[in-house]
């Protein structure tokens, strides 16, 4: 009996040691990532492009940390080392950190982690090399755009008045169809392609001398089209009435900008079409307040709107 008791005690101790050493209480990073992406898709219903980007950065973390690595084995130091490996690509480093913060946030909510380790890392500094667009430069570019394809000034006006992104401007239709994401009715309705956020804008909205209703009427011309921003003349791969591709919008704006002689400030790159969104948010903030600017931009977080209001030193601050 004494011998059996000793043997049993020895076996029990060995089993406990085996469990503690070989079966960590936390899940693997691969499991945590899968749950995070599942929540983003099914619970938060993020847009397809956003999900694709989250999956891409998540896989990059999985490769760096190892899918079989348990969450309890990952330290802040290890996260910093991974971020440092992107030292020559600060924008990617910033995206990686943001992704990690979101992943650990879900891990904490699931009870798999006690603290958000990623949030304890320092955010990489990104120097934006593109100039902000001022209202004066917008008007100069718009004047030149009026001498080019008719859709260029219309696209610029829609972007300024609605504060929407390039892809959403290109998607606006005169009527709502089965797969329509942006359309004109009693208001301008936009389901944003990047976030899925829904924005409804009154047609009498005005800013900087432009009016949304007037611009929409100007989009109706002699060419039959379902799109507000459409080709007037035939192109290599497009015919009159076809939707203008987003890259074509970028190039059309650049043509008008170069004709206007607008260049980058302080050695920066000249402003792109996307900068109209920032200009619009700044103008609405000044004329109608921060809440209106945040609402029309479709931002859920005021901090995001604040990024667009940052003039990056490209505009004079008026005192008095």
Q: What is the CATH number of the domain that holds 39?
A: 1.10.150.130
Reply yes or no on whether 226 is catalytic.
no
The answer to whether 284 and 210 have CB atoms below 8 angstroms apart is no
Collapse the DSSP code of 285 into the 3-class scheme (helix H, G, I; strand E, B; otherwise coil) and give the result: helix
pLDDT band at 235 (very low <50, low <70, confident <90, very high): confident
Domain enclosing residue 218, as ranges: 135-309
107 and 168 part of one domain: no
How do residues 2-11 score in pLDDT, each as one tens digit?
A: 887 777 777 7
Q: Decide the pairing of beta strands 172-173 and 182-184.
A: parallel
The partner residues of 199 in beta bridges, in order of sequence, read: 190
Q: Which of 105, 255, 274, 312 is catalytic?
A: 274
146 and 261 share a domain?
yes
Q: Which of 142, 231, 282, 299 does the annotation list as catalytic?
A: 299
| Given the residues 31, 35, 70, 194, the one annotated as active site | 194
Q: Does residue 108 sit within a domain?
A: yes
What is the percent of the chain with per-residue pLDDT over 90, rounded to a whole number?
A: 69
281 and 289 in contact (C-beta within 8 Å)? no
CATH (domain of 265): 1.10.443.10
Number of domains in the chain: 2
Tell me the C-alpha to C-alpha distance, in Å, between residue 68 and each of 31, 75, 102, 111: 9, 15, 20, 19
pLDDT of residue 307: 59
pLDDT tops 50 at residue 30: yes
The one catalytic residue in 165, 230, 231, 282 is 165
Share of the chain above pLDDT 70, in %: 89
Residue 95 forms part of a structural domain? yes
Residue at 33 is within a domain: yes
Give yes or no: 308 in active site.
yes
For residue 60, being part of any structural domain is answered with yes
Task: Please indicate, yes or no, whether residues 91 and 162 belong to a single structural domain of this protein.
Answer: no
Do 141 and 71 sit in the same domain of this protein?
Answer: no
Domain boundary residue among 120, 151, 183? 120
| 108 pLDDT higher than 90 | yes
Let me know if residue 8 belongs to a domain.
no
Q: Is residue 102 part of a domain?
A: yes
Query: Would residue 3 count as lying in a domain?
Result: no
70/189 same-domain check: no
The answer to whether residues 199 and 302 belong to one domain is yes
Mean pLDDT of the chain: 88
Asked if 47 and 187 sit in the same domain, the reply is no
230: Cβ contacts below 8 Å, ≥ 6 apart: 151, 219, 223, 240, 241, 242, 243, 244
Q: Of these residues, 54, 144, 277, 282, which one is catalytic? A: 277
Same domain? For 141 and 103 the reply is no
The answer, yes or no, to whether residue 311 has pLDDT greater than 80, is no
pLDDT at residue 195, rounded to an integer: 83
Provide the pLDDT for residue 132.
Answer: 87
Least confident of 16-25, 92-101, 116-125, 193-202: 16-25
318 token code pair: 């008026």
- 46 plus 101 within the same structural domain: yes
- Same structural domain for residues 109 and 41? yes
Residues 80 and 147 in one domain: no
Q: What is the pLDDT of residues 153-203, one digit of tens each?
A: 999 999 999 999 999 999 999 999 989 999 999 999 999 988 888 999 999
User: Number of helices and strands (H, E) in the chain?
Assistant: 13, 6
Give the span between the Cα atoms of 168 and 274, in whole angstroms: 11
Do 215 and 115 share a structural domain? no
132 is catalytic: no
Listed residue (167, 196, 189) closest to 47, CA to CA? 196
pLDDT in tens, 284-301: 999 999 999 999 998 877
């Amino acid at each position: 009996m004494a011998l059996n008791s000793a043997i049993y005690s020895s076996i029990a101790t060995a089993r406990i040691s085996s469990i503690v050493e070989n079966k960590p209480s936390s899940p693997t990073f691969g499991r945590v990532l899968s749950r995070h992406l599942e929540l983003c898709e099914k619970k938060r219903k993020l847009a397809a492009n956003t999900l694709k980007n989250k999956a891409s950065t998540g896989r990059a973390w999985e490769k760096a940390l190892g899918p079989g690595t348990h969450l309890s084995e990952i330290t802040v130091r290890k996260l910093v080392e991974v971020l440092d490996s992107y030292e020559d690509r600060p924008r990617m480093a910033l995206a990686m950190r943001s992704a990690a913060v979101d992943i650990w946030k879900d891990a904490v909510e699931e009870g798999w982690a006690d603290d958000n380790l990623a949030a304890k890392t320092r955010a990489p500094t990104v120097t934006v090399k593109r100039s902000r667009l001022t209202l004066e430069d917008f008007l100069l570019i718009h004047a030149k755009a009026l001498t080019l394809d008719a859709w260029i000034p219309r696209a610029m006006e829609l972007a300024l008045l609605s504060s929407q992104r390039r892809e959403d401007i290109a998607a606006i239709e005169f009527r709502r169809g089965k797969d329509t994401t942006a359309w004109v009715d009693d208001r301008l309705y936009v389901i944003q392609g990047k976030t899925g956020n829904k924005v409804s804008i009154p047609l009498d909205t005005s800013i900087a001398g432009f009016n949304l209703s007037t611009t929409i009427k100007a989009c109706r011309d002699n060419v039959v089209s379902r799109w507000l921003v459409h080709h007037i003349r035939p192109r290599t791969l497009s015919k009159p009435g076809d939707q203008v591709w987003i890259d074509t919008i970028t190039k059309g704006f650049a043509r008008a900008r170069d004709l206007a002689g607008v260049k980058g400030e302080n050695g920066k790159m000249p402003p792109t079409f996307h900068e109209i969104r920032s200009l619009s948010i700044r103008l609405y903030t000044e004329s109608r307040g921060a809440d209106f600017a945040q609402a029309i931009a479709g931002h859920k977080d005021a901090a995001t709107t604040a990024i667009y209001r940052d003039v990056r030193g490209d505009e004079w601050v008026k005192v008095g």
